[in-house]
Amino acid sequence: MEGPSKVLVIDDEEIIRNFLIDLLVDQGCTVKAVATGEAGYETAMNEDFDLIIIDFMLPGDDGLNIIEHIRRNDPDAIIIVITGYNSIENMRGALRAGAFDYVPKPFDLEQMTFAVRRALASRHHVKTNKRLMKEVSGQNKILEEKVQERTQKLQVAYEDLKNVYLRIITALISAMEAKDSYTAHHSENVAKYSVALAKEMMLPSDEVELIDRAAQLHDIGKIGILDMVLNKPGKLTEEEFDQIKQHPLKAGEILKPLDFLGSAIQLVTHHHERYDGRGYPFGTPGDQIPLGARIIAVADTYDAIMSERPYRVRQFTKEECIEEIRKNIGSQFDPKVVAAFMRIVDNF
């Protein structure tokens, strides 16, 4: 509940001060009245007033100056200027300095009462607006905090869900690889080599992470290939090889609903592309193949030839595997990736 309006009167003429005090008290206001600009300014600085009525011409003081000072301290201050020196110029000066109204002397009761009511109504309006704005901004803050809190919780839940999905897929891959002793840990190894290559090529950490994820998932599409084709000892028929060639696309289809994987899916679908454009499934050449996929291709081939295969008479030595990679620079593999591979293969 708001109390009575507080008004400050600054006028050097006692008769005017008393007239205004009577008028304002009749209007239910509490009033302070001072005779000089200096006292008026001091009082206005120390107390909060709903309305200030100031004489334009105070002895020794420029009314305009005082209005500007008061408004600088409180931009919402409502000021009525009264003056015995009525002129358009004075009126303009007062309004320009921030006065709310301008009442020339002599004024009658009705005229001044009207000006005071109008000024107090405006003050009330400004105060109500400010209060409402404060309340709204307080509410907004509470809402913002709630939204932030919920967003954080959702983010945590989303991360949990992502991890569950990834664990399920990884479990699927492990189950698939475990069926065949020759491919056990293949995806894990490919991820390990790919990460080492990506780091050697100074790729940013978010890209290394993407490559790691893609490498772990790269053969998920083999779930959709018949075991008898996948694990066939000996040479594959053309038809069987065509089936095998579908696995990057099948992987893309399996992973597509997991949109958080982003461009990792692209790396998976491109991991059998060749640098000379003769790979599958798209035949994308050279640097048009995503770099991560070119890295996974080298890591994948290296691990595949290092592992025993059912159709192979004997296991390759590490030197033979390295030689196999070297032989395919520029045809199957990106020379930049192989250069990085040669620098770090001793650590594999």
Contacts to Fe ion by CB under 5 A: 219
Cβ closer to Fe ion: 61 or 219? 219
Cβ closer to Fe ion: 50 or 219? 219
Cβ closer to Fe ion: 208 or 293? 293
Cβ closer to Fe ion: 124 or 245? 245
Cβ closer to Fe ion: 40 or 248? 248
- 3-class SS of residue 41: helix
Sign of the Cα torsion 16, 22, 26, 28 reads positive
Q: What is the smallest separation between the CB atom of 202 and Fe ion, expressed in angstroms?
A: 26
Distance (Å, whole) CA 229 – CA 239: 10
Q: What is the smallest separation between the CB atom of 190 and Fe ion, expressed in angstroms?
A: 9
Q: What is the smallest separation between the CB atom of 221 and Fe ion, expressed in angstroms?
A: 8
Q: What is the smallest separation between the CB atom of 265 and Fe ion, expressed in angstroms?
A: 14
Q: What is the smallest separation between the CB atom of 245 and Fe ion, expressed in angstroms?
A: 10
Report H helices in the chain: 14-26, 37-46, 63-73, 88-96, 109-178, 186-200, 205-217, 227-230, 238-244, 247-255, 264-269, 291-306, 318-327, 335-344
Q: What is the smallest separation between the CB atom of 160 and Fe ion, expressed in angstroms?
A: 30
User: What are the C-alpha distances in Å from 280 to residues 15, 190, 283, 287, 302?
Assistant: 102, 19, 5, 15, 18
Q: What is the smallest separation between the CB atom of 194 and Fe ion, expressed in angstroms?
A: 13
Sign of the Cα torsion 328, 330, 335, 339 reads positive
Q: What is the smallest separation between the CB atom of 248 and Fe ion, expressed in angstroms?
A: 7
Distance (Å, whole) CA 188 – CA 212: 9
- Say how many Å lie between the first and final Cα of the chain, rounded: 79
Peptide bond connecting 281 to the previous residue in cis, omega within 30 degrees of 0: yes
Pairing mode, strands 57-58 and 61-62:
antiparallel
Cβ closer to Fe ion: 103 or 265? 265
Would you list the DSSP string of 125-143? Answer: HHHHHHHHHHHHHHHHHHH
Cβ closer to Fe ion: 5 or 183? 183
Cβ closer to Fe ion: 217 or 329? 217
Q: What are the structure tokens assigned to 192, written together?
A: 């390990």
Cβ closer to Fe ion: 219 or 334? 219
Distance (Å, whole) CA 324 – CA 295: 16
Cβ-count burial of 128 within 10 angstroms (0-12 exposed, 13-18 middle, 19+ buried)?
exposed
Distance (Å, whole) CA 78 – CA 6: 11
Q: What are the structure tokens assigned to 148, written together?
A: 């932030």
Q: What is the smallest separation between the CB atom of 213 and Fe ion, expressed in angstroms?
A: 15
Q: What is the smallest separation between the CB atom of 269 and Fe ion, expressed in angstroms?
A: 10
Cβ closer to Fe ion: 177 or 219? 219
* Residues 6 or more apart whose Cβ sits within 8 Å of residue 280: 245, 248, 272, 273
Q: Which of 277, 280, 284, 296 is nearest to 337 (CA)?
A: 296
